Amino acid sequence: MKDVAKNRKTELYEWLKAAIMTLDLRPGADLDESRLSDEFQLSRTPLREVLRQLAGDGYVDLRENRGARVSEMSHMTLRDFFLAAPMIYGAVLQLAAQNARPAQIDDLKAAQEVFKSTLRSGSGADRAMANNRFHEVTGEMADNIYLLPSFQRLLIDHARISMTFYRPQDTQMVENVSEASAQHDAIIAAIEARDEIAAAQLAIDHWNLSRDQIELFVMPVGLDVQLGSVARNTPA
């Protein structure tokens, strides 16, 4: 029975994670805990355990006497996203180049193969989740208890923003996704070679590729950040 409950909790966690990142559950939406309990056959206690885990990871907000809701994406959070993204990506890839273990490099290569597969035949949601998994592995490689929570929240909002603005009929966007895949390969090579300088530069290049398209969706007023200089100043 314990294994069954554990499996159901894992299933619920993964379902909510994907639904939030692919916008099946919109930012700020209230979660129907009774419906989730019925659908996943979980009592209130294990359900709340899953929600607390999701809250700790940045997917949901828990409100006293008001239940859980999907984490918001406001003008302020988007501004913070633009400011923090290049610094956090740079730090993660530098640390990944320092600390990656052989098994993690294998995991990164496997994640990249899944991402490439979604480019050939997957949906936008499949692509977003595969891209997220690739970057999650780099966060695991970085292995920094202070950096990882910020990186996790960044990945959540990056996926949600990407799901909002991506248009498969836009030729430039399709080309950018292909370029992102090539950059993934270069990131793997830099990490495998323990090349922190190359990893830091790839963080800049990868972010700039995303930023050009994200700015079409939203650009915080008054934000003027020299991304290259910010990322290069990230501590090794």
Report d(CA 8, CA 11) in Å as an integer.
5
Q: Are residues 18 and 103 in the same domain?
A: no
pTM of the full predicted structure? 0.83
| Domain extent for 218 | 75-232
Asked if 217 and 161 touch (Cβ cutoff 8 Å), the reply is: yes
Q: What is the CATH number of the domain that holds 86?
A: 1.20.120.530
With a CB cutoff of 8 Å and minimum separation 6, the contacts of 226 are none
DSSP 31: P
Q: Are residues 80 and 137 in the same domain?
A: yes
Q: Are residues 38 and 116 in the same domain?
A: no
The per-residue pLDDT for 214 is 67
Q: Are residues 22 and 129 in the same domain?
A: no
Q: Are residues 81 and 59 in the same domain?
A: no
Domain count, the chain: 2
Last residue of a domain, one of 70, 98, 125: 70
Q: Are residues 56 and 157 in the same domain?
A: no
- Kindly give the confidence (pLDDT) of every residue in the chain, 236 residues in length, as a single tens digit, with 9 standing for 90 and above: 567 778 999 999 999 999 999 999 999 999 999 999 999 999 989 999 999 999 999 999 998 878 899 999 877 777 888 889 999 999 999 999 999 999 999 999 999 999 999 998 888 899 999 999 999 999 999 999 999 999 999 999 999 988 877 555 556 666 778 899 999 999 999 999 999 999 999 999 999 887 766 665 555 444 444 333 333 333 33
Last residue of a domain, one of 15, 50, 70: 70
pLDDT tens digits for range 111-153? 999 999 999 888 889 999 999 999 999 999 999 999 999 999 9
Query: If we measure between CA atoms, which residue out of 136, 142, 164 comes closest to residue 91?
Result: 142
